[in-house]
């Protein structure tokens, strides 16, 4: 059951080159990145629908593609299941015929048994004779998964399975998909440009940008320790800033930013010791910045770490939360256009503190919520 998928491929298209290398084992590997990064192209190369210019694709001990050995197994014989964007169900065939489509060549009794089994496990009983346009979106997803899983593929490839859906259905189908993937215990490679989806469904996340892999890591490591400023940017992390190192020790990093001193925790597993005066990227999660209440007396720098003060220049109302754009009391150009820091507060806090009327605040953040981004030094980061 536990087979590894090893991928190394180069595919040159006009104006775009895909050049990636990664591997995946049990569970779900998510290829994540912006549109046009080469994720679907990778999937097509894996399935054999597209021939790479160079590389090697191996599932377990089976070589599917190898330019050096001149091996290129056609898609018909790769033994991989492919779930297409929009599902690509055969509209002229019934649910049962769709699910049985990949079982041709087996004895009729086996086909019938397998189709019945898949229909039962997918909860599609009673819909055998319906056409794809006569069933719901959720049922369609299950037919698409059932059709791909029926021949018992070594790996399941899923291309943006949820992208065509509206928000409500998308979330419920995402949960259903997560359930089916763990239920069937099938190794899968899933493509998405939605980080929430990647995080929810993936055990491992491979981050794509412009035809390259910029980080491959278990999902929790990716979120808390992005490998670089670029990865942080693609993950949609806000408040990615640049400061100057003052002092770095294995457990703390002191840095100067916008004329202020900030103290951050150095990563205990991957401590990073840049030289003083080095430029350094870091990020502050907007939901971890605290506003200091004015009714509790003067802020005490001993209790409030990383104390800053400034004015709200803009705000955005997202219903349950407000995003406040702060400009700090420091001379010079603000760090992010017309503001320095994005701060997110729950609506309740916004109302209790009467932020709508009061635009001047002191801010503080714990050193543990300032994340340093390694590998993004002064000059060597532009590989």
Partner 1 sequence: MSPDQLSAVWLSIKVSIVATLLNAAIGIPLAYLLARRRFWGRAAVDVLVTLPLVLPPTVTGYYLIVLLGRRGVLGAPLYEATGWSVAFTWYAAVIAATVMALPLLVRTARAAIESVDPNLERAAFTLGRAEWRTALEVTLPLARNGILAGLVLAFARALGEFGATLMLAGNIPGKTQTLPLSIYTAVQTGEAGQAMALVAVLTLLSCGVVVASARLGARPL
Q: What is the binding site for partner 1 (CB under 8 A)? A: 47-49, 74-78, 80-82, 84-86, 88, 90-92, 101-102, 104-105, 147-148, 151
Kindly state the DSSP code that residue 74 receives in the 8-state scheme.
-
Give the separation between CA 344 and CA 289, rounded to whole angstroms.
8
Q: Choose between 86 and 375: whose C-beta lies nearer to partner 1.
A: 86
Shortest distance (Å) from residue 303 CB to partner 1: 60
CA 304 to chain centroid, in Å, comes to 33
Torsional sign, CA 23, 27, 33, 35 = positive
Q: Choose between 72 and 85: whose C-beta lies nearer to partner 1.
A: 85
Q: 86: which 2 tokens?
A: 């929009």
Determine which helix (DSSP H) or strand (DSSP E) holds 185, and give its type and residue range. Answer: none
Nearest 5°: phi and psi at 358? -100, 115
Shortest distance (Å) from residue 81 CB to partner 1: 7
Q: Choose between 41 and 262: whose C-beta lies nearer to partner 1.
A: 41
Q: 110: which 2 tokens?
A: 């086996």
Give the separation between CA 220 and CA 203, rounded to whole angstroms.
9
Shortest distance (Å) from residue 57 CB to partner 1: 14
Shortest distance (Å) from residue 163 CB to partner 1: 14
What torsion, rounded to 10 degrees, do the Cα atoms 184, 187, 191, 197 define? 50
Length of the chain as a residue count: 383
Shortest distance (Å) from residue 159 CB to partner 1: 9
SS3 content of the chain, % helix, strand, coil (to 5): 25, 35, 40
Q: Choose between 164 and 316: whose C-beta lies nearer to partner 1.
A: 164
Q: For the beta carbon of residue 22, count every other beta carbon within 10 angstroms.
A: 19
Provide the 3-class DSSP secondary structure of residue 40.
helix
Q: Choose between 49 and 348: whose C-beta lies nearer to partner 1.
A: 49
Non-local (6+) Cβ contacts of 71 within 8 A are 63, 64, 65
Kindly state the DSSP code that residue 167 receives in the 8-state scheme.
H
Q: For the beta carbon of residue 4, count every other beta carbon within 10 angstroms.
A: 13
Q: Choose between 152 and 351: whose C-beta lies nearer to partner 1.
A: 152
Asked if 284 and 341 count as a contact pair (C-beta separation under 8 A), the reply is yes
Shortest distance (Å) from residue 24 CB to partner 1: 18
Q: How far is CA 95 from CA 65, 82, 145, 157, in A?
A: 33, 17, 12, 21
Shortest distance (Å) from residue 104 CB to partner 1: 6
Q: Choose between 101 and 350: whose C-beta lies nearer to partner 1.
A: 101
Q: Choose between 138 and 151: whose C-beta lies nearer to partner 1.
A: 151
User: What are residue 236's DSSP bridge partners?
Assistant: none
Shortest distance (Å) from residue 173 CB to partner 1: 19
Q: Choose between 70 and 104: whose C-beta lies nearer to partner 1.
A: 104
């Amino acid at each position: 059951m536990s087979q590894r998928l090893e991928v190394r491929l180069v595919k040159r298209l006009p104006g775009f080159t895909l050049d990636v290398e990664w591997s995946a084992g049990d569970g779900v590997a998510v290829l994540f990145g912006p549109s046009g990064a080469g994720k679907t192209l990778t999937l097509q190369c894996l399935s054999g629908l597209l021939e790479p210019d160079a590389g090697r694709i191996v599932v377990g001990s089976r070589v599917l593609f190898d330019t050096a050995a001149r091996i290129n197994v056609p898609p018909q014989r790769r033994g991989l299941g492919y779930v297409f964007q929009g599902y690509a169900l055969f509209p002229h065939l019934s649910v049962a015929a769709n699910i049985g489509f990949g079982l041709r060549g087996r004895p009729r009794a086996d086909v019938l048994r397998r189709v019945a089994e898949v229909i039962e496990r997918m909860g599609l009983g009673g819909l055998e004779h319906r056409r794809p346009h006569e069933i719901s979106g959720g049922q369609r997803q299950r037919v698409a998964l059932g059709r791909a899983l029926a021949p018992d593929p070594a790996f399941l490839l899923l291309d943006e399975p949820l992208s065509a859906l509206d928000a409500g259905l998308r979330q419920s189908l995402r949960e259903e998909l997560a359930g089916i993937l763990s239920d069937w215990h099938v190794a899968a490679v899933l493509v998405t440009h939605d980080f929430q989806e990647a995080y929810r469904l993936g055990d491992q996340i491979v981050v794509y940008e412009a035809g390259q892999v910029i980080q491959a890591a278990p999902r929790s490591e990716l979120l808390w320790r992005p490998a670089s400023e670029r990865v942080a940017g693609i993950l949609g992390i806000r408040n990615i800033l640049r400061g100057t190192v003052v002092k770095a020790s294995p457990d703390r990093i002191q840095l100067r930013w916008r004329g202020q001193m900030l103290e951050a925790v150095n990563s205990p597993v991957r401590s990073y010791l840049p030289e003083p005066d080095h430029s350094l990227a870091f990020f502050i999660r907007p939901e971890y910045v605290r506003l200091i209440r004015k009714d509790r007396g003067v802020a005490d720098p001993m209790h409030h770490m990383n104390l800053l003060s400034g004015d709200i220049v803009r705000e955005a109302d997202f219903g349950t939360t407000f995003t406040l754009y702060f400009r700090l009391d420091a001379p010079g150009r603000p760090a992010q256009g017309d503001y320095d820091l994005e701060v997110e507060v729950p609506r309740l806090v916004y109302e209790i503190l009467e932020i709508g009327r009061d635009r001047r605040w002191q801010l503080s953040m714990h050193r543990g919520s300032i994340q340093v981004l390694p590998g993004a030094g002064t000059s060597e980061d532009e590989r």
